Chains A and B, each alone.
Chain A
Amino acid sequence: MNIFGSAWSPDPERQPSSRAQRLLVRALLALRSEARAHPYSASDRARAEALADRIMLELPRSVLPIGLAALFIVGVVCLMPLMRDAIAEGTEQRAVPVASVMEHGIRSQGAALSDGFEAMREVVAPFAAGDAPSSDADGSSERTPPADATAFSRS
């Protein structure tokens, strides 16, 4: 029970003293000054900063998605040229027909083989020249054995 609850009387004849009125005014003024935030109070500012830090550490849910979305957009924008190049490369590779690739391979293999044949032909040409039927039909020209062949005497 509040003991001051019964202090107030609806009796209009019972009026508070002027002393009490002056004290009440003083009390209300003191009450008002309690709520004034002092703009240059260092301690109040430090407390506010500390609480702001704590709130920022907990990272407001409202701010987090916006930050993530912004980060995603920046990432996409930065990766855009790379992605474009990659896509273009892929498209170009797909445009070359498989048959062309195979033909190219066969042609290069064929060219290599031809080179090989040519090389072999050059090597065996001197030997093959002796066996080949001479164009000199009258036998006037003397056949000369290859240098290597002269090393072995004919039996």
Chain B
Amino acid sequence: MLDPKTERLTIERARRGDRDAIAELIHAYQRPLEAFLFRMCGKHELAEDLAQEAFVRVIKSLDRFDDQYRFSTWLFTIGKRLLVNAQQKMKPTADSEVVEYRAGDARTPLAEVESVERGERIANLVEIAIGALGSPQREIVLLFHQQGWSVQRIAAELDMPEGTIKSHLFRARRRMLFAIEQSGAPNPGEVLR
């Protein structure tokens, strides 16, 4: 992530067609955007494609960018819109895939977690926690815990009162806790080492 001043200067250079500035913007935000989109849709390839498309659109229309907002907010908004459009075209949706995966008794979360490496165990744990959330809690949790956005910024972006965001975060954490508990997740010692 770039600090606001560096971000503004980099955007100015990118507006003038500076290729290196464009590469810097992409390098700073590609990974966070892909991580966000992946956790929203559950598909790596789709997340990568959508992130790339979001960058192409954003950089092509940099002239229309209002400096009073953060670049990342604009980028994530466009990425999210692209995801919504893609999900409308594709069936089944990510949520139903997660349900099917979790419901399959041949691959219970416990059996799966026990058979894979520690990194994959953690990834499964995250998947279980995030998979328990619906809209808009998933997005709020990702923006807050994954992207590190403030409650104020999320409230402004989602056009919701700050109190509602806090309430969603509280409920989402409880929902994730119970999902982890019910999933029969491994001994914390194995994951928390």
How many residues in B have their beta carbons less than 8 Å from beta carbons of A? 65
Considering only CB atoms, which chain B residue lies closest to A18 in the complex? B188
Q: Mark B48-92, 1 if CB is under 8 A from A, else 0.
A: 000010011001111100000000000000000000000000000
Residue A121 CB within 8 A of the other chain: no
Looking at chain B's contact residues, is the secondary structure mostly helix, strand, loop, or mixed?
Answer: helix
- Whether A8 contacts B59 in the complex (CB less than 8 A), given A35-B147, A55-B22, comes out as no
Q: Is there an interface contact between A7 and B175, defined as CB atoms closer than 8 Å?
A: yes
User: Taking CB as reference atom, which chain A residue is nearest B52?
Assistant: A51
Asked if residues A55 and B39 are in contact (CB atoms below 8 Å), the reply is no
Assess whether A22 is interfacial by the CB under 8 Å rule.
Answer: yes
- Cα A9 to Cα B102 in complex, Å, equals 20
The 8 Å CB contact of B146, one of A9, A32, A45, is: A32
- Take A16-B174, A49-B23 as given contacts and tell me if A27 and B180 are in contact as well, using a CB distance cutoff of 8 Å: yes
Contacts of A52 in B (CB 8 A): 19-20, 22-23, 26
Please determine whether B182 and A7 come into contact, CB atoms closer than 8 angstroms.
Answer: yes
A63/B17 in contact, CB under 8 A: yes
Top 8 nearest A-B pairs (CB, nearest first) are A4-B132, A48-B27, A52-B23, A63-B17, A16-B177, A34-B35, A48-B26, A35-B32
State the A residues within 8 Å of B (CB). Answer: 1-5, 7-9, 16-17, 19-24, 26-28, 30-32, 34-38, 44-45, 47-49, 51-56, 58, 60-63, 66-67
Interface CB pairs A-B, < 8 A, 26 = A2-B95, A2-B132, A4-B132, A5-B134, A7-B178, A16-B181, A19-B187, A21-B177, A22-B188, A24-B177, A24-B180, A26-B188, A27-B129, A28-B129, A30-B122, A30-B125, A32-B145, A37-B28, A51-B26, A51-B30, A51-B56, A55-B60, A56-B17, A58-B56, A63-B15, A67-B17
**What residues of chain B have their CB less than 8 Å away from a CB belonging to chain A?**
1, 15-17, 19-20, 22-24, 26-32, 35-36, 38-39, 52, 55-56, 59-63, 95, 98-99, 102-103, 122-123, 125-126, 128-134, 142, 145-148, 171, 173-182, 185, 187-188, 191-192
